[in-house]
Amino acid sequence: MRNLLVFFLTVVLVTPAVAQDVQFKASADKPVASLSDQIAFTITISGSGQQLPQPQLPDLSSFTVFSSGQSQNFSFVNGVMHTEVSYTYVLLPKSEGRFTIGPAEITIGGRTYRTAPVTIEVSQKAVSPPAGGGQHDRYTREQVQSGLADLFLKAAVDKKAPYVGEQVTLSLKFYQAVRLFDQPQYQAPALTGFWQEPLGNWTRSSEVVNGKHYAVHEMKIALFPTQPGRQTVGSASIQCTVEDLERFFSRDPFDQFGADLRSFFNQGQTKILRTDPITLEVRPLPEAGKPGSFSGAVGNFTLQGACDRTSVPVGQPVTLKMTISGTGNLKAIAEPKLPELSDFRTYASGSSEKIEHAGNRIAGTKTFEEVLIPKAPGKFQVPAITLSFFDPARGKYQTVKAGPFVITATGSAEQIASLPASGEGTPVVASDLRYLKTNADHLSGSAQPVIFRLWFWGLQLVPLLGLGGLVAYQKHQWKLATDVGYARSRRAHRMAKKRLATALDLIGINGQKEFFAEVSKAVLLYVADKFNTSTYGMTTPEMEDFLKTKGVSPELVKRLTELLTSCDLAKFAPTYVTQTDMKKKLDEAEEMIVSLEGVRR
Amino acid sequence: MKFRFALSAGALAALLLLPSPGEAFPLEKFHAANALYDQGNFSGAIAGYEGLLSSGTQDYRAYYNLANAYYRDKKIGYAFLNLLRAQRLAPRDDDIRTNLAFLKQQALDKFPQLPDPVGSLWRPLALNELAWLFSLFYFLTIGSFAAWRFRVYPVRVFRWGAVTFGLVALIFLGLLYGKYQSDYAQDHGVVIAQQVEVKSGPGEDFLTQFTGHEGLTLTVLQMRPDWYEALFPNGVKGWVKKETVELL
């Protein structure tokens, strides 16, 4: 019944119906378990009708919970359909003690059902009876040892009492003698109190245990305890699914139909394999003989030091490279301390590390770079650098040395001021702000951008206006050259003024006749030029008509004809006209011309 | 009315009589502040440069030196602010660029610089430079056009000149617009408080989206009496209190 998902049956048969006669139960497969046991916790709901909701789980925080599946069973009794759904969870105890799993809840048809609480007692080493239908617990240690189990997981360490910082190799082995349905899911052990470094990935080999062939998957992890005392390597686990063969052999003769369906829908059986936690007694590093320069390095190391050059100009950097290589907890190694160097400026320029695993040991190199800049010319000695470490193999402290180094600084003291320009191979020494800007003999005033100023955009109009003016001038020139009427009209006022000026001159020399002739001519010729016509031989009424067709106001026409008539009269009549009157006539003519100027051609 | 006229006339007279900004007087202030900086009196130097800048001088060197002094006085937010102001006036100055990179290293909030290929077109040029470049090519365009229109020899050269100069002028006009939009149409600011909580709304009760620190740059999107809505370089839009930010 378990591990069975008659999924398509549910899909096909589901019709809305409310369940009745509800039974709601929770059970654990064993009341007493050890820390390494798996407990199957099952919640079963049964009732008539097909729709049974999912129950609400009780608090299971004292256990690691894996869902192991859901099974559903239908039966018809006297034409009434009966449904039973079971949800199974695999519980792994987290600690010892007595745990009560509270009630699970379900609401069906407005009624809430609760299961009775289930009590489980977890002890350090409980003798779990192999009987009792503990399907999740079939592979006990005894069975593993007797070679019965098809699958098991083993953890082992190479040392039980390491020093702080000494490498312990944890080996996890997964033994497999049956086909797996899916990719096993590995959960790493809890490793608090250790610095860990995996030693490669899972490797595959085969092994024979008690005459049984196993495929063995192994993984190794290097552990470095960081604190003395009792430290625990937690338990690792693997979850995998195997073929559920048992079902074939325990076939119920009355369950023929169901069994066939099951083998068809066989989802396999989920297994969770766990290792026992391993306790290590981590020894502290001995205080006796601990060198002052010791800073936590445990293992076996060598130290090398080298300067990239031995002679430099003053103010130029020398890089001192310190390389630590060997096996041990390289990551914990701090930079070897340089002694106080009064002749140099020093900067830590960087560090790099390369970690590899030689066999099952963590090894590698760690490089520190220190930049030294001589402050003055001369020959200087950088004292030897030292590294102290604890060698767990010999159980005592060791100190290694590199150097001393001799550096010659050449050149004069002035060169110190200028730090090196970073060129090829020269490291950038130290970064700081660049100095002030001091070379100013004029400071600029406003920071307001020109685009916010009106004059800037006004300035942009200048060429446009210039261009417009040029184009207009060109047009005018062109018209003067091609349009006689335009040219005459443009000339008219100027010519009229000239003639009137001549007339004015005539007033003084008493040429009355000539004066009136000139005034009359000025007005007539102005009209001729202005309207691009000929006024010679035009009679006064003709003139009147012509001007009227040109849109000159009748009042102005009248005044014009009056002026011309009076001029003609004064020309031929021998009456004496005073200079004042002549002046008046001249003004009148001038006024008339100005008025005519406003008339469009 | 009369009084107002007298006042403006007086102001005009004062403007004409006083030494115009940028003459010897501010320059002396500038050198005095530099000397204070050299003596390690950074707060004195700050006061000197600030006085100089508030009295009308707007020189990038003053902003640059002020930023240096603020940095030495452990006010990294103000250092950023003034260095950015300096860069606005002198976008190609190498010292400004180097110091900005240095300050970015020192700042607590490190966000990756988002690539801005369009912005990099106008970044190397100041707004005024773009304005004058546009103006120059615009004048050349009109000039060439006139020469072509009035058949100045070689006519063909002037015709192509007008087209080419016109295109260049248009490009500079576009860049000018872009620069204006990115740098001037929007308000940019720098966080000057040591720490600032970026809220999801204009009030203390809103959720804190992240905590920014001195020197964090931002673009103001909206202003409220006490709050700014801003876009931060990590792409977050949020609200900060006005007094924690100084605008460029």
Reference A69, options A85, A84, A88, A46; nearest CA is A88
Q: What percent of chain A has pLDDT over 90?
A: 1
* Identity at B8, one-letter amino acid code: S
Of B26, B127, B145, the CB nearest to A449: B127
Q: What percent of chain B has pLDDT over 90?
A: 21
pLDDT confidence of A98, banded at 50, 70, 90? confident
Residue A401 reports pLDDT greater than 60: yes
Cis peptide before B154 (omega within 30 of 0): yes
Chain A: residues touching B (Cβ < 8 Å): 431-438, 440-451, 456, 459-460, 463-464, 466-467, 470-471, 474
A·B CB contacts under 8 A? 91
Please state the pTM of the whole predicted model. Answer: 0.42
Q: What percent of chain B has pLDDT over 70?
A: 89
Of B59, B135, B146, the CB nearest to A443: B59
Please give the distance of CA B159 from its chain centroid, rounded to a whole number: 39
pLDDT confidence of B136, banded at 50, 70, 90? very high
Of B59, B142, B176, the CB nearest to A464: B142
Q: Which two tokens stand for residue A310?
A: 């031995």
Q: A446 to chain B: which residues are within 8 Å by CB? A: 21, 56, 58
Cβ–Cβ gap B57/A444 under 8 Å? yes
pLDDT at residue number B170: 94
Which range has the worst mean pLDDT, A6-10, B124-128, B149-153, B169-173?
A: A6-10
Kind of pairing between the strands at A32-34 and A118-123 = parallel
Q: A449 to chain B: which residues are within 8 Å by CB? A: 127-128, 131, 184
- A410 exposure class (CB count in 10 Å sphere: 0-12, 13-18, 19+): middle
pLDDT at residue number A271: 76
Please give the distance of CA A130 from its chain centroid, rounded to a whole number: 56
Q: A471 to chain B: which residues are within 8 Å by CB? A: 149
**Structure-token match 């049974």, residue found:** A52
Nearest CA-CA distance, residue B153 and chain A, Å: 17
pLDDT tens digits along A254-293: 554 544 444 445 556 777 888 888 888 888 888 877 887 7
Reference A306, options A384, A378, A365, A409; nearest CA is A384
Stated length of chain A: 601
Reference A73, options A29, A136, A10, A19; nearest CA is A10
Cβ–Cβ gap A443/B56 under 8 Å? no
Q: How far apart are the first and last CA of chain A?
A: 116
Which range has the worst mean pLDDT, A30-34, A128-132, B230-234?
A: A128-132
Cβ–Cβ gap A445/B21 under 8 Å? yes
Average pLDDT in the A79-100 region? Answer: 80
Of B102, B131, B139, the CB nearest to A450: B131
Q: A448 to chain B: which residues are within 8 Å by CB? A: 58
Q: Which two tokens stand for residue B133?
A: 């470049």
Residue A241 reports pLDDT greater than 80: no
Nearest CA-CA distance, residue B209 and chain A, Å: 32
Cβ–Cβ gap B102/A432 under 8 Å? yes
